[in-house]
Amino acid sequence: MEKEKLREIIDRFDVVSTAVPYGNGHINDTYFCETSPGFILQRINVNVFKEPEGVMSNIERVTAHLRLKIQKEGGDPSRETLNLILARDGKSFVKTPDGDYFRLYDYIKDTVCHETAENEGQLFEAGRIFGRFQRMLDGFPADALFDTIPDFHNTPKRVKAFHDAINENKAGRAGACEEEIRGFEAFEKYAGLICGALEKGEIPERVTHNDTKLNNVLFDKETDKAVCVIDLDTVMSGSLLYDYGDALRFGASSAAEDERDLSRVFFDLKKFESFTKGFLLGAKGCVTKKELELMPVSALIMTFECGIRFLTDYLNGDVYFKIHRKEHNLDRARTQLKLIRDIERKLTDMEKTVSACAASV
């Protein structure tokens, strides 16, 4: 963006500063405002988040709740949750005449993001901070939150979209990936387990983050302890199992999400155990018996869901996910399929691990 336009936007937050591009996020444009103590300016991607004011309402409510909880527990709310800076008009965002939406956060100093886990301690810490996020929001009226992306983790609807893509075959690719299609279809029996449990009231509806990758955690530069959960754009109502399962889909994989050498891809039980220990410690006292029962299979379900989304996009002609090579989405789908098969083989061991971790906290 032009520097002059950025200055005008920052001024509407009553801050005098220059801004430079910051981070490597794929959705929103992020800038660092250099005036002490520092601020993070973000332009919300309105192509992804069609109702940015609803997104900001969710963030306002959730961060306000977290600040009160952190204060009550003797923590530091200026460091342990995101803090919005209000604009001159009292709103949590600035809307420009051309329809752009901007927000400003306090910068949390002396922290770092990790793209991948360098050790099991980082996975434990990520699990702990995401579990703590769940515990601190336990009892929050999740049904009052705006659905930033409706049906985001509605796995049965993702299955329907997958079959629609197969039948429509818009890019003429279905015949070339019949093996992958049949592979995913074999796991459709799991698709409704989480959504079904929610609908029946067997598990509680909760506030969920919905993007629990490692790089959405800030770590202290010196201690490498998890400090704060960031990127709250997809905070909405759902199941704790969405956050837990999706974190493991990414965090417990032995390889990159788009690894083409499938011999390198497996589900790492040691990583699974480290994250689970941290998660159950952080969420201590709020996880129900039924949620504990479904935790192992949630990793399979969320991996399955992501895999069919990749394959659906490939069948539709690569219209949603960014790709960097011709069969990028197909490669991603194959990696998820390899993981699902490995997770299913290891479900009994995973169930034992969850039981042991639950007993230890």
Q: What CATH number does domain 3-107 carry, 3.30.1490.20, 3.30.200.20, 3.30.70.340, 1.10.1040.10?
A: 3.30.200.20
pLDDT at 277: 98
Q: Give the containing element (helix H, strand E) for 344.
A: helix 328-345
Confidence class of residue 321 from pLDDT cuts 50, 70 and 90? Answer: confident
For residue 262, pLDDT beyond 90:
yes
**Sign of torsion over alpha carbons 106, 112, 116, 117:** negative
Confidence class of residue 142 from pLDDT cuts 50, 70 and 90? Answer: very high
pLDDT at 6: 84
Q: What is the overall mean pLDDT for the chain?
A: 94
pLDDT at 31: 87
pLDDT at 145: 96
Position with higher pLDDT, 19 vs 165: 165
Q: Who's near 281: CB < 8 A, 6+ residues apart?
A: 127, 128, 131, 361
Instruction: Convert the pLDDT of each residue in 322-336 to its tens digit.
Output: 889 999 999 999 999
Instruction: Convert the pLDDT of each residue in 271-290 to its tens digit.
Output: 999 999 999 999 999 999 99
Instruction: Convert the pLDDT of each residue in 3-56 to its tens digit.
Output: 778 888 888 998 877 777 676 665 678 888 877 778 999 999 888 889 999 999
Degrees to nearest 5, angle at CA 183 with 177 and 187: 140
Nearest Cα to Cα of residue 303 among 335, 346, 269: 335
What percent of the chain lies above the pLDDT cut of 90?
A: 84
120-360 CATH: 3.90.1200.10
- Kindly report the backbone phi and psi dihedral angles of residue 61, in degrees, each rounded to the nearest multiple of 5, phi listed first: -70, -45
Domain layout of the chain by residue ranges? 3-107, 120-360
- Over residues 247-256, mean pLDDT: 94
For residue 155, pLDDT beyond 90:
yes
Instruction: Convert the pLDDT of each residue in 202-243 to its tens digit.
Output: 999 999 999 999 999 999 999 999 999 999 999 999 999 999
